[in-house]
Structure 1
């Protein structure tokens, strides 16, 4: 009956996860600033309770006994993934978890106010505390998992990924992009000489932008009976599969950054909403790491929503809702395919975006190993920005190392997932096109049923029942292959 005992435990843990997820969403979307201290305390207590419950010593006996029971394939996969999670949880004490959650929330709250003031000096002490806790976490995990410290952190976001392989893939990609980006900018200049980029006449009312975003979310398959869209300081997709909470941020002088952000987060939301319901309280039915999650958001945003066929379908809606008189598909493509070296990762185009990720990947490795001190991050950031993108962030902390929520919230090891996800998305699209040859025609009609059916069969329904490499192999017929991403960039950005 040990499987039954684990099953009961998973239901209780799911309830605590649900509560923590919703408190986190409320903290980012609705909570007044004065509520931050008590919210941090409440969430640290819940995190500690969940950790104690999920890492109790007797659970090891339950796992061993369940492994000896007569289980079906789904139950065996459930126990195997629970065991992997249990080993990772037992790396940390509940006291450490409570202390870390409290520190992370306080640092993130401080970051929100200090980033707006470009105030690195006041942010630094809190950031130093977060880095110290991350190093402590990495050391604890490394000892148990028998991995190098940074690998032990990456394991929490993308199980099975290892730094050595990421370094190899990113080195090749960095070399490719060094030559590709100048070529893409030259091709863009030639296109602009033939057809100058047409600007959009704002301002764009926020309620109209939201109306368009909601319409496109619905069109691509988002279920509003189990999710909603709000506003936050930093766009995210949170909540739980039965109640997915997405956010965006709006500007009235332009609309595309918010709209494409909404479509990006919708990719996350579709993945969550389409995970398996059977054994839905077990870890095996949760999303398979952040690289896979990012592959789904980037599939939606980059592979689908920046295609000419998508804008054949979406532009009439945008004209009607936003009043884009005289705007043609080619004008939209000029904006959504625009390549430009910039400071902000979340606003970067897909050609320059990987360099933003590689920069952070390199810095956070050195932060975790102790090679780099937190106080020296701005100088290293500036040097790498100048080398990779030809831009200086000297003295510009809000557009430099303070621009992302990840480090204030303690998410070290997350950043590689973004670019690994982009590569995976391109490879998934190539496989989907083979299975659905008229996919582009269907997109032009605004019909995403067959595309979503392929994604559900090959990605969403697999959840965490297999490793990321195995899911990719089963879905696409080959291991992760960066060639698909490079060929995608060439087709999209080097056309005359």
Structure 2
């Protein structure tokens, strides 16, 4: 093995450990840290960001890459893939000067803390005071990466989350969905109107009972509590490291389904992290391929598997048992598998992305995608975001938010500086549908297994096709290897037609 390649491995392993420490600190910030710790935590995370950037900016790195590249013929396939991933990350990191890294980290931490207070009170003015300077820094990042990578500024940001995806491809996919979904949504709503509405279980649903139910379902799906935990935060997420995966959700005592579905979604993320190859932990090639692949794993678990009629045959008794105080004929009818399934796939345009059904969800993403492109190009300023949001919601979903909390303040992403991430959600939905269709063809009796709560066959298939492959292949290549076809919206549209129109 090339000694220069080996030294690169050692350096990236050190940076992975620093990144893992930051990930756990970020989880702690979101889940348990008292508000008074914000300034100290911001300083800690900024310091870790700077140390990682200093590692990347070491002048010796360029020579190490040049020499290692010259010995590619001596490397194994995984090592070659790792070298390519190392170089891509190095190019992204070296595009940014240290002072910009520091300024961005501080501004993002500050803006996220403001958002936590501004969202519940719908205080856009307070948020904007923190977001406007952060947006300036995000644009600087985009321009710097654009120059270094030879990409358009917004493409350069997307590449940090989804290497290889470009707006030209995403525009085409979203145009396809934009043509298909409005008429399809109208057909679904017309069909629903002819049918009895699903019965909604009535609470209260104590948080402790919701938490216990979620943990039971997580265990059945395959979550390993020796290597992870479930907590509460303002916004559901999955963080930590593969050996220590942290899931969070939020609870509403009048609606247990929202927290349970969020947990099932995040469990899909966690299983991907746990399934990454142990031999390549600490190396770029051993990490999740991209955020769209990550979102595909969460959406496959939540939308494809756990909103199926088969899943509710297994889960409905567990759900009713979790709230044993609801012992009545009405509760029994509401918790019937068929009724819970109808409730889980009920379609209704709404304001909140994380609560959206899978038919209207892409509209939420297409709106954010449009606004992100405008913000990065300079066509949309921070203070004009509410008006642009209102106009977009009317255009895409025919709705007008009553306040900013159910409008442009609902998501944490922009407050944390994560512009370029949102397309991953709908790309992930398309990938999830394509993967699940392939798994259904290749796994004998998959529906029957889900009806018994047996997720092992599905998890084994995903482990072989996706999880164990980590970042050995590009996203596009991995999808085609796993499904036999390039990425398209075809499987997603076929799934929607089958589920909602029969």
Cα-Cα RMSD:
1.0
1:344 aligns with 2:352: yes
The offset of 1:375, in angstroms, is 1.0
Aligned to 1:398: 405
Alignment of 1:52-67 (within 5 A): 52-67=54-69
Alignment of 1:137-216 (within 5 A): 137-192=141-196, 196-216=197-217
Q: Tell me if the contact between 2:288 and 2:471 (Cα under 8 Å) persists in the aligned partners.
A: yes
Cα deviation, 1:87-107, whole Å, max 9, x if unaligned, reads 111111222111101110110
Find the aligned partners of 2:427 and 2:481 in 1 and give their Cα distance.
17
The offset of 1:67, in angstroms, is 2.5
Find the aligned partners of 2:430 and 2:227 in 1 and give their Cα distance.
29
Find the aligned partners of 2:255 and 2:207 in 1 and give their Cα distance.
10
Find the aligned partners of 1:448 and 1:121 in 2 and give their Cα distance.
47
1:274 aligns with 2:275: yes
Find the aligned partners of 1:478 and 1:372 in 2 and give their Cα distance.
37
**Structure 1 segments of 4+ aligned residues over 3 angstroms from their partners:** none
Cα deviation, 1:274-303, whole Å, max 9, x if unaligned, reads 001112111001001110000000000001
Cα deviation, 1:358-378, whole Å, max 9, x if unaligned, reads 000000100001011111111
Find the aligned partners of 1:18 and 1:146 in 2 and give their Cα distance.
30
Cα deviation, 1:89-141, whole Å, max 9, x if unaligned, reads 11112221111011101100000101111111121121111110110000000
Give the 3-state SS of the residue equivalent to 2:415 in structure 1.
coil
Cα deviation, 1:186-234, whole Å, max 9, x if unaligned, reads 1112222xxx421212100111101110011010111111110000011
Find the aligned partners of 2:452 and 2:408 in 1 and give their Cα distance.
42
Unaligned runs of at least 5 residues, structure 1: none
Aligned to 1:442: 449
Find the aligned partners of 1:387 and 1:252 in 2 and give their Cα distance.
33
Find the aligned partners of 1:103 and 1:67 in 2 and give their Cα distance.
37
Find the aligned partners of 1:36 and 1:444 in 2 and give their Cα distance.
45
Find the aligned partners of 2:90 and 2:498 in 1 and give their Cα distance.
44
Alignment of 1:77-476 (within 5 A): 77-192=81-196, 196-323=197-324, 325-326=331-332, 327-393=335-401, 396-476=403-483
Aligned to 1:483: 490
Q: Tell me if the contact between 2:114 and 2:126 (Cα under 8 Å) persists in the aligned partners.
A: no
Q: Tell me if the contact between 1:49 and 1:94 (Cα under 8 Å) persists in the aligned partners.
A: no
Find the aligned partners of 2:258 and 2:480 in 1 and give their Cα distance.
33
Residue 21 of structure 1 is aligned with which of 23, 43, 48? Answer: 23
Q: TM-score, normalised by structure 2?
A: 0.96
Unaligned runs of at least 5 residues, structure 2: none
Give the 3-state SS of the residue equivalent to 1:412 in structure 2.
coil
Q: Tell me if the contact between 2:268 and 2:300 (Cα under 8 Å) persists in the aligned partners.
A: yes
The offset of 1:423, in angstroms, is 0.5
Q: Tell me if the contact between 2:300 and 2:429 (Cα under 8 Å) persists in the aligned partners.
A: yes
Give the 3-state SS of the residue equivalent to 1:349 in structure 2.
coil
Find the aligned partners of 1:56 and 1:493 in 2 and give their Cα distance.
55
Q: TM-score, normalised by structure 1?
A: 0.97
